[in-house]
Amino acid sequence: MNTALVALATAAFVAALLTPVVRFWALRSGVVVVPGGRHVHQAPIPRLGGVAVLVAFFVALGIATLFDPDLQTRLLARPLALVGLLVGGLAMGALGALDDIRGVGAWRKLLVQVATAIFAFACGFRIDSVALPWVGQLEMGVFALPITIVWIVGIINALNLIDGLDGLAAGLAFFTCATNFVVGAINQDLLVIALSAALGGAILGFLLYNFNPASIFMGDSGSMFLGFSLATSSMLGASVKSATTVALLVPILAMGVPIIDTLFAMLRRVIERRPVFSPDKGHIHHRLLELGVTHRRAVLMLYGFSLLLAASAIVVATGRDWQVGASLILMSVLVIAVVRFVGYSDYLKFRRHLRRRLESESLQQLRQATHGLLKTIYADPQGTCTMRTFVSRLGSFGETAGLLSISLSVRSQRGGTGVCFDWKAPEDPQAEAVARRQETPLTEHTVSMTRSDTLRELNIAWKPDNPRITVAVESLLELVLTAYAEVQENQQVAGLRRVSQTAVHFS
């Protein structure tokens, strides 16, 4: 226990000292999250806080190793595991930091995550078999590698997706560390104890600045590093009968909140016919805010839910079969209650509710207009669509979609705001008279997107047959906004290229 205290205290101290330094550098370098879109904060907040967590974790683990010769022996006995943790954690932290600073495409991130998971598998972090109550051990055989990849990559992205409120992802990760610590103590596994204490301490030191109101976010550098570390350390800590048997129920329950949120996010996007990697505001924390729950109270509610799941995970790891069964039944009832409370049950009733939304005439018009706009923009593989051409086509887009007005504004992080497009539909007295007779309500909606330190907002007004803004509508508008950003960036790059060529010519 002395080793655990040293690791915990050292990690918390280093993280508490280093986080303000990272915050200062991020502010000076402009690595901040601009308000708008899916973000619920009201002012620019620096990110990259995960760098402080990563450094604090490895410093604490190194000091704890020097402090305890027994821990040195355990680490030297499993050198591949140490290499997997070190290289994999640094790779995920570096990938996340690069995404925070410059932005990395979703598929490129996924490719690196899969490669890191394969490397971790080669270093001994593998799911060779699964221990289930009443069933026994299920050998994975040739499926060990793909299941391990799915587990590691899934946890990395689950923690990344849940990182939407101040202190939420860090707090949920801390409860998972606490669960791993307890299971490691029960199994008398000093390596798991030290890893969990060091990671938990780093999170606590960071939470001093990340809890609501946060002065810094962990960013992808933190969520990816923590996701990888929790996924791999849970493999070590969840073993009940042998070092090669992973009782997946324990880490699944311990990280139940981000896993549930990710599963419903995937289901929601499939039902809405959208790409799985597309962002939205339908996550569990967003739903709580829509229900009127305050920012801090929403985080505390999810903390409580995670704490119950952590307690259930400990029961699964240590209890008898009937205790495990009772715990799983209670947790199933709790999960169903939470799903119904936040409104996720609506997505499970898609045959009756969502199909009607997806087949509404106004949505079909919007989808057709979006398809036509994107087709004309991306038809030329050379990407020669200019801003003037794009803006001129927005009017046709609005008419095809049946919109009443379109407003497109741009705000740079370095200052300056301007409306670059403002369109209104031609007046049609006959249509206006019909609308007045039907008393169709006017619906306005704004979508935002931050890209290359620039906030872009697209505002539309229309009178759809379904006035509720669905995720599908928001996704289509985000596609239009993304196309605008790409056209603008391509034109800027083309301009710089012409300037450089002219300079070379005259030189």
Highest mean pLDDT, choosing among 98-102, 225-229, 288-292, 293-297: 225-229
Query: What pLDDT is attached to residue 298?
Result: 82
Burial of 1 (0-12, 13-18, 19+ CB in 10 A): exposed
Domain ranges of the chain: 2-255, 359-506
- Residue 250 above 90 pLDDT? no
Q: How far apart are CA 313 and CA 315, in angstroms?
A: 5
Q: What is the mean pLDDT of residues 465-490?
A: 74
- Residue 20 above 90 pLDDT? yes
Q: 251: cis peptide before it, omega within 30°?
A: no
Length of the chain: 507
The backbone region for 219, taken as left when phi is positive above 0, alpha when psi lies in -120 to 50, beta otherwise, is left
Q: How far apart are CA 412 and CA 36, in angstroms?
A: 13
Query: What pLDDT is attached to residue 205?
Result: 94
Query: What pLDDT is attached to residue 266?
Result: 74
24: helix, strand or coil? helix
Q: How far apart are CA 204 and CA 171, in angstroms?
A: 8
pLDDT > 90 in the chain, percent: 20
In this structure, the dihedral spanned by the alpha carbons of residues 339, 345, 348 and 349, taken in order and rounded to 10 degrees, is: 170
Q: How far apart are CA 206 and CA 228, in angstroms?
A: 18
Query: What pLDDT is attached to residue 237?
Result: 54
Query: What pLDDT is attached to residue 437?
Result: 43
Classify residue 36 by its DSSP letter.
Answer: B
CATH fold, domain 359-506, is: Beta-Lactamase (3.30.450)
Q: How far apart are CA 382 and CA 5, in angstroms?
A: 59
Q: How far apart are CA 132 and CA 135, in angstroms?
A: 5
- Residue 311 above 60 pLDDT? yes
Comparing 228 with 238, which gets the higher pLDDT?
228
Q: What is the mean pLDDT of residues 359-374?
A: 77
Q: Which residues, 6+ apart, have CB-to-CB distance to 384 below 8 Å?
A: none
Q: What is the mean pLDDT of residues 303-327?
A: 75
- Residue 415 above 60 pLDDT? no
